[in-house]
Amino acid sequence: MRLSQLQKYIILVVSGERGAFKRESLRAFYKKQKNKPNKNDQQSIITKSLERLIDKELLVGYGRRTPKKWFIDEIRLTKKGLVIAKKLQGEQQMLPLRVRNVSKKK
């Protein structure tokens, strides 16, 4: 199953929490990014990622229903999501490596 970097971040962050996790704190993912989307785009990207994770049965979303759409306020991992989270924690994480300019002396 392919997951985006944001989806992996969501699963790992939620796996460390007991009970339901507030969705507002998921914007911390974009603090590390160099080219950040604007706030409205961040919100829509997070919403789409949450909905896709719910469709894959990795998350359960709690929120409000209006006649046109759902508003997800809190999320929780399912048993299948916990298995994926443990697998992701075992994978090697990407490090922010800096390339130094090393000049050779002659």
Domain ranges of the chain: 5-90
**11: Cβ–Cβ under 8 A, 6 or more apart, which residues?**
3, 53, 58, 59, 77, 81, 84, 85, 88
19 token code pair: 């009970």
pLDDT digits (tens, 9 = 90+) for 37-74: 998 999 999 999 999 999 999 999 999 988 888 889 99
pLDDT digits (tens, 9 = 90+) for 13-34: 998 888 888 888 888 899 888 8
Task: Assess whether pLDDT exceeds 80 at residue 106.
Answer: no
Provide the whole-model pTM: 0.78
CATH level 3 topology of 5-90: Arc Repressor Mutant, subunit A (1.10.10)
